[in-house]
Amino acid sequence: MRVLIVEDVAETRRWLAGIVAEAFPGAQIATAETLRMARGLLQHPCDLALIDLGLPDGSGLDLLHQIRNSGAPTVCVVTTVMGDDASVVGALSAGAMGYLLKENPAGILVRQLAQIHIGSPALSPSIARRIMEHFSLTGPAHVPECQLTERETEVLALIARGLRNAEVAETLGLAQTTVASYIKSVYRKLGISSRAEASWHATRLGLTQKDDHRNGK
């Protein structure tokens, strides 16, 4: 596993590297202190990127957009001190699949990162509560499963497990462009804009439990 840490403070880079090493023993860790350095390192694909939002030469949001637009299979997790709603929404909309606050103890961050392997988004507890509160206040009281077609429901269940578009396409025997269209439709119907939100909705609809049952778990 290859992990990129984008953080301009040397002490924090070392701290995050230790967290990554504990969460993913044997991981190859590369570090960058600027957007420019990060873009150079991303010429070699990585599995996970921890990205700070405030960098000397720009915003980590720019890097999130670049990775998402490139189609690279990189799981992006924001690691920051900024916990305001605008920063959280901006990061998730830009393609982040996790949002961790550096104020949290190392043990919490290790646990949150480790669960990426099972398709769960890495979210600091306070961020997860905020997302749930947002949906309870602004979302519909209940999202009926019948709102999605059978195929859309299958796609939602798979991306909630952390599968990439290519993997979903292979599993369902579809073209990647078709999968992308289904995902766009799911996002539109559920009023969401990120896979972290998709995972939350899949859990709410019981799709992850159904998937475990089909696999004999």
Q: What are phi and psi of 54, to 5 degrees?
A: -95, 105
Same domain? For 170 and 150 the reply is yes
The residues, any chain, with a CB within 8 Å of residue 210's CB and separated by 6 or more, are: 157
Q: How many other C-beta atoms can be found within 10 angstroms of the C-beta atom of residue 211?
A: 17
The DSSP symbol for 74 reads P
Give the neighbor-by-neighbor strand order of the sheet with 28-32: 28-32, 2-6, 48-51, 75-80, 98-101, 122-123
pLDDT at residue number 134: 63
Give this prediction's pTM.
0.62
Return the structure tokens found at 189: 């119907």
Residue spans of the chain under pLDDT 70: 133-146, 208-217
Same domain? For 31 and 115 the reply is yes
Residue pair 31/7 in contact by the 8 Å Cβ criterion:
yes
pLDDT at residue number 216: 42
Same domain? For 127 and 28 the reply is yes
Alpha carbon 29 to its chain centroid, in Å, reads 19
pLDDT at residue number 215: 42
CATH number of the domain that residue 155 is part of: 1.10.10.10
Domain boundary, last residue among 136, 163, 194 = 136
- Report how far residue 183's alpha carbon sits from residue 55's, in angstroms, rounded to the nearest whole number: 32
Range of the domain at 116: 2-136
pLDDT at residue number 131: 73
Bridge partners, residue 51, by sequence: 6, 78
Domain boundary, last residue among 103, 136, 169 = 136
